[in-house]
Chains A and B, each alone.
Chain A
Amino acid sequence: MPRINVNVDGVQREDDVEPRVLLVHYLRDRLGKTGTVVGCDTSNCGSCTVLMDGVSVKSCTVLAVQADGTDITTIQGLSAGNGLHPVQQAFHDQHGLQCGFCTPGMIMAAVDLLSNNPDPSDDEIRDGLEGNLCRCTGYENIVRAVRQAASAQVGGEQSGATGSREEVPA
C-alpha cells in the first residue's frame, strides 16, 4: 500500500492508503474529518471541496495518493478555535445556508474565489461558484455572503486589519 505524507488542517500525517481511496474518504473515514461531506459521485455538487495547497479541489476527484506532499485545509481547519473566517462569518450574517450540507464546500470554494478575485461582481461570484450546488438557498444569500466577505477583506486590507474573526453566538 502506498504511503502518503500530507498536512491536514495543520497536522502532519503519514498514512498507508489503498491506491483507490479518494481524498474525501481518507479525510472522512481515516481522519474523522467529517465536516467535509460527499454529495454526489460525479464531481458535480462540490460538497466535498477542500483547499489543496490553497487551491480549491473537489476531494472526491482527487485520490488520497495524489495529495501526497500537499497541505490540505478543510472546513474544520479554516478558522482556529471558535473563531470564524470572514467567509464563514458572512454566510452566518447573510443567512447563506439552510440545511448546511453544501456549506463547507461552498465556503471553501468561496475562499478560493476570493483569493483569485478579491472584489468580484455578482456575476463573477455566480460563475465562480458554478461547481457547487445548493438545493436550499436559491443562491441569493450565498452571493450576498460572498459579497460581504469580499468587502470585509477589501476593507480589512485598507484599514490594515489582520482579520475580522468573531465569535459565533452560542
Chain B
Amino acid sequence: MTAVEERPAREVGSARKRREDAHLLTGRTQWTDNVTLPGMLHVSVLRSPVAHGRISRVDAAGARGVAGVVAAFSGADLADDWGSLPTAWTVSDDLKTPPHLPLATDKVRFVGDGIAVVVATSREAAVDALEAIEFDIEPLAPALDMTAAMADGSPLVHDDVPNNRCFTYTEHHGDYSATRGRAEVVVTRRFINQRLIPSAMEPRSVVVAPTGADEYTMWSSTQVPHFVQIFMALVTGIPQQNIRVIAPDVGGGFGSKLEVYAEEAITLVLAKRLGVPIKWTETRSEACQVTIHGRDLIQDAEITATRDGTVLGLKVDLTADMGAYLQLLTPSIPLLGRYMYPGIYKFDAHEFGCTGVFTNKTPTDAYRGAGRPEATFVIERMMDELAVELGMDPLEVRRKNWIKHDEFPYTTVAGLEYDSGNYEAATGRAMELFGYDELRREQAERRDRGDTVQLGVGISTYTEMCGLAPSRWLGQVGYVAGGWEAATVRVLPLGKVEVVSGTSPHGQAHETTFAQIAADALGVPFEDVVVVHGDTRTAPIGLDTYGSRSLAVGGMAIVEASRKVVEKARVLAAHQLECDVSDVEFSDGRFSVRGSPDAAKTIQELAFASFAAHDLPGGESPVLTGEAVFDPEVFSYPHGTHLALVEVDTETGAVRLAKYVAVDDVGKVVNPMVVEGQVHGGVVQGIAQALFEEAIYDEDGNLVTGTFVDYLVPSAADVPSITTDRTETPATTNPLGVKGVGEAGTIASTPAVVNAVVDALRPYGVTDVQMPCSPQRVWEALNQARGGAQ
C-alpha cells in the first residue's frame, strides 16, 4: 500500500490535519526570542514616561559604567545611522508625513517613544542600566482627544502640522444631496469605533547577526520579511542584498506585525556598530505601548431611504486617530474601508470623507480587517437603525436592499464589481441554524412579561474585499508597491516537491494548504510536498501576508507555477514517449499518450530525467521547475450572515452572549478545517471589540490598559461556542474559485453582537451602546434612556 493510494482523490477540499503542528505541539519551535547566538548581546530601550515633551538632554554615559553594559546610546548619538521609518501609502495630496526616527531626538510624542538604548550582556543587565541614563524632558500639554486636537490652539504633536491634521480625503459617488431631497426617512448616527490593542500572543522580537562585510541576518517576528528587508535598506543605507530577513515561527500578527518597527532598525544599527549579534524582545507592557494599535475612529453616518424601506444614499464622515506618528500603512487604514461602507446594498449615492488626526498616543495601523470591520460596523448598525425607524424587521430591510444572487456581477455605488455572492442562501442557512423565528417569539414573550433579563437578536450580513491587491489599483491609490505574489515549484530529483512561496504564515496553515494545492496540481502525494517561506534568502520574491491575500493571491501563484512545471514535463514526456506534445495527456501525476494509456511516464520519472539531463528535447533546460508571479486583476468578495443572541440583564447591565451562528461564503475551500478555525478566531476577536476590549488613556496620555490585567483579551470562559457553516459560491475571478477568510469573522461579528445588545434594549428607548458593551456602558445607556442621570 502506498501513500498515493491512501490520499483523498483530491487534496483541495479535504480537511488535512496541519503539518505545521508537529513542532508547535512539542515545543520544538523557532520563535525569534528562541534564537541565541554566540556572543549575542541584548538591547533594552529607554522610553518616554510622558506623552508629549521637548527633549533638552539625554545622557547615556551613566549607563556605560554599569556592570554588564557594553554600550549605551541616545537618539542623538545614533541620529546619523538612520533615516525616518517608512510610510508606504500616500493617501492624499495633503498628507503630512512628519519624520519618525527610531529614537526621538527633538520631542517625545507618546508614552513609550524611545529616547535611548542600552546594550548589555544580558536582558536583565540592559534593563537595569536604563535607570542610569539621565534625561531632561520638558513636559508639554498633550493632544489626546481627536476632536480637540483639531481645534485652534491645541497642542501640536508635530510642530509643523497645523491643527494636527494629517490628511483630509473625500470621495463622491452619485449625488448624495439629491437622495436627501427624495428621502422620506433620514437616519443619522455617530459611532465610536474604539481603539484596540492587537495583542498577538507572541511579543515582538528581533535578532540581528552581522555575517560579513556590512552583511546581516535579521530574525524578526514579522508578517512581512520582504517589506522589512526593503525598508531596512532604505532606513539604514545598508544595501538591500546584504540584509537577509527571516520570519521564523511567528506567533500571531493580526496586522500588528505588518509593520516596519523602530526596534528592527535599532537592532540592525547596533549590530552594525558593535559587530556582534543583538537581540531585542518586547515585554507585554512594552507591546501594549509601542506595538501599533487598531481602529480608533469617530464615525458619523447618515442613510437616506424611502418609507417602503428602499435605501437611497449613504454618507459617512470619519475622524481617524493616527496616533503620534505614521507607521507603515497608518493613514490608509480608515480609507481602505471606504469601499465597504455600502456593504451588500444597492445605494444610488455614497459620500465619504475622512480626516486623519495626530494625537499623543501610540500610532494606529492595520488590525485584523483594517478598515473593513469599521465600515461593516457602520453599515450593519445603520441598517438596524433604519429598520427601527421604519418599523420593519431588520432582516427584511436587508433583504429588500441587498444585491440578489442573480444580479451578479454587480458594480456597487463605491465602484467595486462584486463578482459573485448569494446573500439569500447564507442568510437562509443562518436563520435555520439560529432558530431565528423561534427566538424572535421568545424575545417578544420576554418583552411582554417585562422580564429583567431581555433577549436581543443581532444581525450582520457582511461582505468584504480580500486578496490585497491588484497592483494597478494600488498604484492608483498612492501605495508605494504592488500586490502580486510569487511562487516557485520544483520537482526535486527524487520526485519530491518544493514549493517556495513569497507569503509566510503566522498561524494560517500555509504549509498544509499550499501543499494541498501543489499536490493536486502536480498529481503527487501531499506528503511529498514541502513549503518553503519566510526567508528573503530562500524565498526572495514576495509581498508577504496581510489582507486575506495568501490564498487568493499566493495560492494562485502556486497554481500557475505548478502549471508551468507540468507543461515543461509534458514536453519531456512527449520526447520520451515519442509522440507529439499535444498528444500527451496529464492526469494524477501521469503523462500518457492519448489513446495509449499504458505508454506513460510519471512526473517523478520525468523529474529525474530532467535532472540527469542526458536526453532532453532540443531547446529544453534541465530541472523540473516553474516560477510564477500572480497579480490579481480584481479583489475577491467573501460574504456571510452572522446572527448573535444576547441576554441582557436590565438591572446590572451584564451581557451574556448566548448563541452565535456564522454562515460564511468564502467561495471554494482548500481546507475546511482551517477555514472553520479562521472563522472561530475571527469571530471571537470581533466579539472582543463588541464586549470587552478598549485601549484607554488617562488625561495625561498614560495608557491605563497597558497590561493584560487591564486590557481584557477574552478567555475561553468569556465567549460561547460558535456554530459555523458555509455556503459556497465560487469566486469567478480566479481559477480556484477562492475568496479569502482570514478577516471575515472579525469583520462580521462586531456589529452582530452590538446590534443584539441594542436590540435587547430597544423597548427601553436605547438606540446605541458604545463599545465595548460592558455592564457599565449598558447600564448607563439604559439609565440615560430611562431619563436618569448619567
Residue numbers of A with Cβ under 8 A of B are: 18, 20, 28, 32-42, 44-45, 47, 74-76, 78-79, 84, 88, 91-93, 95, 97-104, 107, 122, 125-127, 129-143, 168-170
Contacts and interface: CB of A to CB of B under 8 A. Distances in A.
25 contacts: A20-B124, A33-B27, A34-B34, A39-B202, A39-B203, A39-B284, A40-B708, A44-B709, A45-B713, A88-B25, A91-B25, A95-B17, A98-B252, A98-B678, A99-B252, A107-B25, A133-B201, A136-B252, A136-B681, A137-B677, A138-B719, A140-B680, A141-B677, A169-B17, A169-B527
B27 A74 contact: yes
Given A98-B507, A99-B506, A92 B21 contact: yes
Contacts of A41: 283-285, 707
Contacts of A103: 24-25
Contact of A91 (B21, B201, B719): B21
A107 B722 CA distance: 21
Contacts of A102: 201
Interface residues of B, number: 57
A24 to B, nearest CB: 11
A122 B720 CA distance: 10
Nearest to A88: B25
Given A34-B34, A39-B201, A74-B27, A92 B716 contact: no
Nearest to A103: B24
Contact of B681 (A92, A131, A137, A170): A137
Interface of A is mostly: loop
A75 B26 contact: yes
A98 B509 contact: yes
Top 4 A-B pairs, shortest CB-CB distance:
A35-B27, A101-B251, A100-B24, A99-B507
A143 B21 CA distance: 17
Interface in B25-81: 25-29, 31, 33-34, 36
Given A39-B284, A42-B707, A79 B26 contact: yes
A106 B684 CA distance: 17
Nearest to A101: B251
Contacts of A101: 31, 200-202, 249, 251-252
B497 to A, nearest CB: 14
Contacts of B124: 18, 20
B708 A45 contact: yes
B673 interface: yes
Contact of A45 (B36, B201, B507): B201
Given A129-B715, A132-B715, A100 B254 contact: no
A92 B26 contact: no
A66 to B, nearest CB: 18
B250 interface: yes
Given A126-B716, A135-B199, A140-B680, A35 B252 contact: no
A139 B716 contact: yes
Contacts of B677: 95, 98, 136-137, 141
A91 B18 CA distance: 11
B124 to A, nearest CB: 8
A93 B17 contact: yes
Given A37-B31, A39-B201, A130 B17 contact: no
Contact of B707 (A44, A122, A143): A44
B685 interface: yes
Given A42-B708, A95-B677, A99-B506, A133 B715 contact: yes
A122 B716 CA distance: 10
Contacts of B438: none
Given A34-B29, A141-B677, A134 B201 contact: yes
Nearest to A141: B677
Contact of A40 (B507, B678, B680, B707): B707
B651 interface: no
B22 interface: yes
Contacts of B36: 32
B674 interface: yes
Contacts of B213: none
Contact of B284 (A20, A40, A91, A141): A40
A122 B22 CA distance: 26
B10 interface: no
Interface in B1-35: 17-22, 24-29, 31, 33-34
B683 interface: yes
B719 A139 contact: yes
